[in-house]
Amino acid sequence: MISVQFLQSGTLSFAAFVFCFFLLIMATKKDDSLQSVSVRLDGKNYSYWSYAMRNFLKGKKMWGYVSRTYVIPKNTEEGVVVLIDTWEANNTKIITWINNSVEHSIGT
């Protein structure tokens, strides 16, 4: 519909432009939340699993959440709320990656 309106009028409304820009960002933004390490922790391979998971998280620049270098911001000022949301989203992503790389018999 937006492209039809554009073709008919030759211009895009601001709302249509914002919507198209949003779609472009969503189409190009990579969601890596389902990625994981190729090895699953089974209770006997912790040394190798932890090595692989640490390198995976370092490659994603997320190791600081596990090593506690990155801590959740304590300040609740308006600008910091975005940082808290980002921290919680990244922390949850890491928990998902870890859960997905552990045998169910260990994780339950």
DSSP letter assigned to residue 65: H
Which tens digits make up the pLDDT trace of 58-100? 999 999 999 999 988 887 676 678 888 899 999 999 999 999 9
pLDDT digits (tens, 9 = 90+) for 2-20: 444 444 455 556 665 555 5
Burial of residue 25, with CB atoms counted within 10 A of its CB: 0-12 exposed, 13-18 middle, 19 or more buried: exposed
Question: Domain boundaries in the chain?
Answer: 1-30, 34-107
Q: What is the pTM of this model?
A: 0.64
